[in-house]
């Protein structure tokens, strides 16, 4: 069954309207109850974040909803290996590799984390159906037996937060609706702690720093996300861990969770994340650059949505980043071999 994807931008007249009312006015074929269920299941994003039906929209909010027709079916399940660090009946914590999108897009329909999770959550049912479909009675014209395995619709990944495609690291996903609702509320209330490791261009002088600069989206200019005076408030805490001749290893804490926030804020202070092809300097040579964006979500801490237990999960640097860091620690060539970065776009 094909998904039905809808995207809207709230106008000034929509400001203050409940999210479910905003959607009901535009999706007349769906009942308010159906819309509320879609929102509760995480099928609706506001400015890239999961939300709740009672949220009041603001002018300029970007609302996307996956209005699938019937009871939720998982998006194309794919048997993609996952690096699982914790799993129980409520949640799943994985370490996403660099290069993997979290959600499918209009141009990328497979190979995403959502595809991998859809398989992981329904693996037994899918494999049973594959075996049954290969049986002679099915090949001879019997009805495909997939719906006979398990009860109800396939389980849908409850993705609550995201990482950029180029960023690696920790993500927590809900396996059932109640946990999804609890974790989404904790994210909104900033009760979940996230830490990132990044290797920045140049030497950062202050040991700690709070970066505050609003971030917004500009449709007709790249990069789309940038510092904007009328953007959403954004804050990042920076802590220096190690300094080298031409680079600095830092820990980053996103106080808010805007798209590309860490990369934008680091570039804003003149120390872009190494190998950032969007916000960083244009290098004449990549000989002294890391093989990919040096940004990794290394720590995630939160209250378990069912037990309330405080959980702290860490993920070491991927081998390709650790290898590059070891090289920097031993030999520190001039990492600023290219042109100076242009001033970060503002509007």
Per-residue pLDDT of 178-189, as tens digits, reads 888 889 889 888
For residue 14, the domain's CATH number is: 3.10.290.10
What does pTM read for this prediction?
Answer: 0.72
pLDDT for 276: 95
Position 316 in a domain: yes
Per-chain mean pLDDT for the chain: 83
Position 343 in a domain: no
Residues β-bridged to residue 171: 94
**Contact between 304 and 92 (Cβ < 8 Å):** no
Element (H, E) at 321: helix 319-330
Quickly state the pLDDT bin for 4 (edges 50, 70, 90).
low
**Contact between 310 and 294 (Cβ < 8 Å):** no
Q: Which of 44, 66, 88 marks a domain boundary?
A: 66
**Tokens standing for residue 331:** 């030999």
Active site residue 14: no
% the chain with pLDDT above 70: 82
How many other C-beta atoms are found inside a 10 Å radius of the C-beta of residue 66? Answer: 19
**Contact between 7 and 27 (Cβ < 8 Å):** no
Residue entry with tokens 């290969």: 134
Of the residues 164, 201, 207, 287, only one is catalytic, namely 164
pLDDT at 339 over 70: no
| Cis amide linkage into residue 223, ω under 30° from 0 | yes
pLDDT for 262: 98
For residue 294, the domain's CATH number is: 3.30.2350.10
Residue 165 and residue 21: Cα distance in Å, rounded?
32
For residues 186 and 286, the model is more confident at 186
Mean pLDDT of 146-156: 54
How many other C-beta atoms are found inside a 10 Å radius of the C-beta of residue 302? Answer: 21
Quickly state the pLDDT bin for 24 (edges 50, 70, 90).
confident
Of 66-80, 143-157, 210-224, the range with the lowest mean pLDDT is 143-157
Q: Which of 48, 66, 84 marks a domain boundary?
A: 66
Position 321 in a domain: yes
pLDDT at 135 over 80: no
How many structural domains compose the chain? 2
Position 245 in a domain: yes
pLDDT for 281: 81
pLDDT for 346: 46
What confidence tens digit (pLDDT) does each residue in 83-133 have? 999 999 999 999 999 999 998 877 888 999 989 998 999 888 777 766 655
Q: Which of 15, 47, 66 marks a domain boundary?
A: 66
Position 223 in a domain: yes
Position 339 in a domain: no
Position 347 in a domain: no
Q: Which domain covers residue 9, as residue numbers?
A: 5-66
pLDDT at 261 over 80: yes
Position 162 in a domain: no
> What's the alpha-carbon Rg for the chain, to the nearest Å?
22
Q: Which residues neighbour 343 within 8 Å (Cβ) at sequence distance 6 or greater? A: none
């Amino acid at each position: 069954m094909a998904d039905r994807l809808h995207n809207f931008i709230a106008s000034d007249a929509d400001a203050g309207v409940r999210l479910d009312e905003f959607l009901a006015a535009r999706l007349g074929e769906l009942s308010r109850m159906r819309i509320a269920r879609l929102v509760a299941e995480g099928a609706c994003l506001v400015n890239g974040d999961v939300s709740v039906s009672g949220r009041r929209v603001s002018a300029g909010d970007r609302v996307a909803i996956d209005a699938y027709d019937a009871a939720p079916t998982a998006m194309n399940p794919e048997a993609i290996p996952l690096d699982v660090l914790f799993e129980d009946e409520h949640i799943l914590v994985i370490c996403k590799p660099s290069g993997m999108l979290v959600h499918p897009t209009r141009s990328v329909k497979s190979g995403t984390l959502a595809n991998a999770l859809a398989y992981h959550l329904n693996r037994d049912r899918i494999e049973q159906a594959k075996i049954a479909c290969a049986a002679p009675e099915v090949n001879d014209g019997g009805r495909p037996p997939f719906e006979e395995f398990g009860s109800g619709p396939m389980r849908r990944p409850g993705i609550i937060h995201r990482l950029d495609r180029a960023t690696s690291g920790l993500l927590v996903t809900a396996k059932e609706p109640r946990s999804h609702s609890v974790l989404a509320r904790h994210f909104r209330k900033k009760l979940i702690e996230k830490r990132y490791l990044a290797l920045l261009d140049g030497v950062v002088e202050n040991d700690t720093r709070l970066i505050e600069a609003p971030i917004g989206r500009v449709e007709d200019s790249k990069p789309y996300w940038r510092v904007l005076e009328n953007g959403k408030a954004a804050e990042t805490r920076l802590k220096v861990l190690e300094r080298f001749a031409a680079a600095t290893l830092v820990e980053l804490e996103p106080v808010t969770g805007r798209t590309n926030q860490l990369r934008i804020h680091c570039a804003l202070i003149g120390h872009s994340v190494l190998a950032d092809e969007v916000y960083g300097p244009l290098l004449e040579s990549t000989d002294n650059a890391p093989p990919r964006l040096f940004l990794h979500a290394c720590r995630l801490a939160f209250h378990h949505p069912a037990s309330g237990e405080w959980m702290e999960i860490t993920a070491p640097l991927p081998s390709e980043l650790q290898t590059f860091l070891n090289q920097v620690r031993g030999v520190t060539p001039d990492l600023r071999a290219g042109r100076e970065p242009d001033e970060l776009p503002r509007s």
